[in-house]
Structure 1
């Protein structure tokens, strides 16, 4: 994480704002777990045309494990076959990834 934009003071402020707003890992929380978020991730990766400094809605607070899972399975492969950032379902059987077409359905 030692390259632009992550070395800028603008990113550092944005990261702190997101972690203050959402201190718990989004993906873990969807799975019914409580894990402290330590990483702020772009919902749309910069490498795929995402804004390097999006609004807080364009960012996710994640633990290191969930961030690594998303980065290796989605970001580096420019999306995957099913288009999901995160694997798994919540306690009701709904996908935990907000990009999934079934996310949020009752």
Structure 2
């Protein structure tokens, strides 16, 4: 039977209006501290650099969306420095067309 749901049961919770707080999703004190240090050592937006522009990075982006996977969340090889504009653009694309692996 077809339903009018955008997500399967196991992923609907991630996209509901009662989404857990940022802290509950891993973005608490520890994340703020570690991401601030990461941006000190990686101060330029990677995406802007590829276009020949030198723009300050303000966001630590997860290259591959972690979707609640805490191992992937804390994997520094999955992090990149981005400016807010580039991060918002990337996140918008990913949220519009989410890819899940099982």
Q: TM-score band (shorter)?
A: 0.5 to 0.7
1:15-64 C-alpha deviation (Å, 9 max, x unpaired): 01210111010000110001111111111112274722222x21011011
Aligned-CA RMSD value? 1.9
Specify the structure having the higher radius of gyration (Cα): 2
> Which residue of structure 2 aligns with residue 22 of structure 1?
42
Structure 2, unmatched stretches of 5+, are 1-20
Partner Cα separation in structure 2 for residue 23 and residue 44 of structure 1? 20
> Which residue of structure 1 aligns with residue 58 of structure 2?
38
Residues 52 and 73 of structure 1: CA distance in aligned 2, closer, same or farther (over 3 Å): same
Alignment size in residue pairs: 76
TM-score normalised by structure 1 residue count: 0.62
TM-score normalised by structure 2 residue count: 0.64
> Which residue of structure 1 aligns with residue 74 of structure 2?
53
Structure 1 stretches of at least 4 aligned residues deviating more than 4 Å after TM superposition: none
Partner Cα separation in structure 1 for residue 78 and residue 44 of structure 2? 16
CA contact (8 A) 1:14 1:53 kept: no
> Which residue of structure 1 aligns with residue 32 of structure 2?
12
